[in-house]
Structure 1
Amino acid sequence: MARFPLLISGKELSAHLGEQNLIVVDVGKSTVYSQAHIPGAIHVDYRRLQKGELPVPGLAPALEDVAALLTEIGVTPETHVVAYDDEGGTRAARFLWLLDAFSHQHFSFLDGGIHAWLAEDLPYEVEPAVATSVQYPLTSLIAKPQINLDYLLNHYRDEDVQIWDARTPEEFSGERVMAQRRGHIPGAINYNWENAIDRANDDRVRNIDIIRTELNRAGISGDKKIITHCQTHHRSSFTWLLGKILGFDIIGYPGAWAEWGNHPATPVATLYQTEDLSS
């Protein structure tokens, strides 16, 4: 089987459907999946990709739960997984982030998801695909160290660290409040994840060089360690993936603003002031 790029087009993928050690995963809404999905694509419920416990739902599931999911859908350590969704890529990116977090090495993101696939008049199915379960060895799932609250509190001011806030400008500024506290991590740089996709071009990723220029203009140069987050590490899974495509040294913060913004003593900033309760 050919090696696939991290960002793969529908035409590239269509030429390899049905190959051994290739599984296509649909992480979109079940209602959309039942109307049209890529032939053979296995549907995965997004809720299985996060721990889901309030107030910090975005943490990764337990290793045993990840192993059970991969076993159920027929993924082995050698399987190349291509993920897509119907909402611009955030759900698919979360699935790929989870694979990476547990050291699965072979995966790609389908550019544009089901919308671009159908726009290219590629084949689709409506009947659900049935997975053939294959045991994924627990010994092959190695949980990588993740960014947690304590680490971020100790390192968010480091000169060689940049915080990429993938939320909307309104959330970043504090105008829209989705936690007990408003605003952003002091020093964080805001580049909304949605700026990177082209809604008028069937949700495909915009020109990578243009995105790189926009990020550089915002202050995300790619020459530092980048930590990205949103509210629950849903949208920032996409910016994590985008950073990987751009060749950045990037890692996600799964606790995200749900953790930082609900903590009583974390430093926060709005466009108007900074409140530091950590000292």
Structure 2
Amino acid sequence: MDPLVSTAWLEAELGAPDLRVIDATAFLPGDPRDARAEYEAAHIPGAVRFDIEEIADTESPLPHMLPGAHKFASRMQSLGLGDGNRFVVYDNSPLHTSARVWWMLKVFGVHFAAILDGGMPKWMAEGRPFEIGRDLHRHGHFTAALDREGVADKGFVLGLIGQGTHEIVDARPASRFAGEGGEPRPGLASGHIPGAKSLPQTEFFNADNTWKSREELRALFERAGVDFGKPMVTSCGSGVTAAVPLFAAYLLRKHDVRLYDGSWSEWGADPDLPKAVGA
């Protein structure tokens, strides 16, 4: 299964016994939109709602950090998601949160996972079928094994500064990267990780919410000064939109990419960590 599937492909596959569809919609703190209410008002037939705030390490002071393997497996099972399934993830969020859930699936060992190109906006604009109400499903059996090579922590990122061995790609808006204006979460410094390159997640998408072509994606990285010959770490505000450049790199067959799960929510809150400002 291609990691990026079309709306036409998904509609034709609906009802396949091994296919599971996941609604990964989530929003920034303070956004008046309600992901649960929107899911219940309209979702792709058979889709289950994946709540990144709850399927997380809820004991961590940082937002939606990866849960442990046991909790992830338990939540996947409760959603009726199991081993051997093919997963298609979509969202209806300006944060393109399907990329975060796709990454979570991959780091916990899922082999067949894809993102729906264009997400819910394209699906609805094309008049494709949808359901209302809550999800109904049977219990599944899911085995989770965390691939730690896909995750970066604070210590790992700190060790990269000044070494020139990796590229650090920041998916936040350019103004936040430059340290202009405040962060949406309180208590965070402004700026970016020293040596990071700015590549806002919004630049990866066309006006109709579809992903840009692979040629355009490669050009984005090149214009940002990212050396594809080096391993990459992606970062953002809280580890969600960092999955966008990671997925784009995956589409370009680059797999030596880690996501910094704590991202600026962790880095910007620690006064002892180095910070840079400016473009």
TM-score, shorter chain, exceeding 0.5: yes
Give distance in 1, aligned partners of 2:61 and 2:196.
Answer: 22
Query: 1:141 aligned to 2:144?
Result: yes
Name the SS of the counterpart of 2:88 in structure 1. strand
Give distance in 1, aligned partners of 2:76 and 2:128.
Answer: 27
**In terms of mean alpha carbon deviation, does 16-25 or 36-45 score higher?**
36-45
Given that 1:38 and 1:124 are in contact with CA atoms closer than 8 Å, whether structure 2 keeps it comes out as yes
How far 1:7 sits from its partner (Å)? 0.5
Code of the aligned partner of 2:271: P
**In terms of mean alpha carbon deviation, does 7-16 or 176-185 score higher?**
176-185
**In terms of mean alpha carbon deviation, does 119-128 or 61-70 score higher?**
119-128
Given that 1:26 and 1:33 are in contact with CA atoms closer than 8 Å, whether structure 2 keeps it comes out as yes
Corresponding residue number in structure 1 for 2:228: 222
How far 1:168 sits from its partner (Å)? 0.7
Give distance in 1, aligned partners of 2:244 and 2:17.
Answer: 27
Query: 1:87 aligned to 2:84?
Result: no
**In terms of mean alpha carbon deviation, does 183-192 or 236-245 score higher?**
236-245
Given that 2:167 and 2:227 are in contact with CA atoms closer than 8 Å, whether structure 1 keeps it comes out as no
- Identity value in percent: 28
Corresponding residue number in structure 2 for 1:174: 179
Corresponding residue number in structure 2 for 1:157: 162
Code of the aligned partner of 2:18: N
How far 1:54 sits from its partner (Å)? 5.8
Change (3 A) 1:208 1:53: farther
Give distance in 2, aligned partners of 1:228 and 1:251.
Answer: 6
How far 1:20 sits from its partner (Å)? 1.5
Give per-residue Cα distances to partners, 1:5-40, cap 9 Å, x unaligned. 100110011111111211001122122222221111
Given that 2:95 and 2:240 are in contact with CA atoms closer than 8 Å, whether structure 1 keeps it comes out as no
Given that 2:24 and 2:90 are in contact with CA atoms closer than 8 Å, whether structure 1 keeps it comes out as yes
Corresponding residue number in structure 2 for 1:275: none
Code of the aligned partner of 1:83: V
Name the SS of the counterpart of 2:105 in structure 1. helix
Corresponding residue number in structure 1 for 2:30: none
How far 1:63 sits from its partner (Å)? 1.7
Greater helix share, structure number: 1
Given that 2:109 and 2:145 are in contact with CA atoms closer than 8 Å, whether structure 1 keeps it comes out as yes
Query: 1:44 aligned to 2:19?
Result: no
Corresponding residue number in structure 2 for 1:13: 10
Corresponding residue number in structure 2 for 1:56: 62
Give distance in 2, aligned partners of 1:14 and 1:30.
Answer: 23
Aligned residues: 264
How far 1:204 sits from its partner (Å)? 1.1
What's the TM-score once normalised by structure 2's chain length?
A: 0.89
Gaps of 5+ in 1: 273-279
Cα RMSD over matched residues? Answer: 1.7
Given that 1:24 and 1:42 are in contact with CA atoms closer than 8 Å, whether structure 2 keeps it comes out as yes
Give distance in 2, aligned partners of 1:181 and 1:54.
Answer: 20
What's the TM-score once normalised by structure 1's chain length?
A: 0.89
Spell out the pairing of 1:255-270 with structure 2 (5 A cutoff): 255-270=262-277
Query: 1:212 aligned to 2:218?
Result: yes
Given that 2:55 and 2:71 are in contact with CA atoms closer than 8 Å, whether structure 1 keeps it comes out as no
Give distance in 2, aligned partners of 1:218 and 1:189.
Answer: 6
Given that 1:55 and 1:258 are in contact with CA atoms closer than 8 Å, whether structure 2 keeps it comes out as no
Give distance in 2, aligned partners of 1:58 and 1:132.
Answer: 26
